[in-house]
Amino acid sequence: MKQSFSMDEKSYIQLLLNSLPHTRKEIVGSKYLGAFVFTFLILSILFVGNLVIHGEITQWKQLLFIFCTVAVFISFAFPFSFQFKNQYLMIGIAVLFVLYLIIISKFIPNLNDRLREGIQTVLSFDNALLYLRVVLSVVLLYIFSWMLSIRIYSRKVF
């Protein structure tokens, strides 16, 4: 993914993309649809791999959790990638990682265990309506992010 962001910053890529008979809306849309298709393919591979290797079917809740987590990450990452240069994104990620390391070493040493327990608690719920609400919220966030990215990319000057 880093490669695609850094390639987008090259002037010859922008020249090529803007000279093709595609609108900026279509360029942004292709990134969002591509991310969705790629996530679906990976989840399919995980499902089949778990079935072949372990002989068990992956729970739909786990697949849904992975999908929602990836969709939320994409919803925040893509607008930032359209707004800021790759070097600023890498600095931001490095700062967040250092903050995470400080938090787990100084303040909450068992943060990873707490996160794991929280995820297990969420996955143990049997309320289908709750899952529907979460998926609907994530889809709305994804669509909002898509529209925001279109707005950012259409105003960008290359």
Of 18-22, 53-57, 103-107, 115-119, the range with the lowest mean pLDDT is: 18-22
Longest Cα–Cα distance of the chain, Å, equals: 54
Percent of the chain scored above 90 by pLDDT?
A: 53
Cβ contacts of 40 within 8 Å, gap of 6 or more = none
pLDDT of residue 94: 93
Average pLDDT over residues 28-34: 93
pLDDT beyond 90 at 7: no
Average pLDDT over residues 124-128: 85
Per-residue pLDDT, 84 = 85
Structural domain including 125 reads 2-155
pTM of the model: 0.79
3-state secondary structure string across the chain: CHHHHHHHCCHHHHHHHHHCCCCHHHHHHHHHHHHHHHHHHHHHHHHHHHHHHHCCCCCHHHHHHHHHHHHHHHHHHHHHHHHCCHHHHHHHHHHHHHHHHHHHHHHCCCHHHHHHHHHHHHHHCCCHHHHHHHHHHHHHHHHHHHHHHHHHHHHCCC
d(CA 49, CA 36): 20
pLDDT in tens, 74-92: 999 999 988 888 888 889 8
**Confidence at 3, pLDDT banded by 50, 70, 90:** low
33-75 tens-digit pLDDT? 999 999 999 999 999 999 999 999 989 999 999 999 999 999 9
Tally of structural domains, the chain: 1
Q: Is 90 exceeded by the pLDDT of residue 128?
A: no
CB 138 within 8 A of CB 65: no
Two tokens at 62?
């786990």
pLDDT computed for residue 29 by the predictor: 92
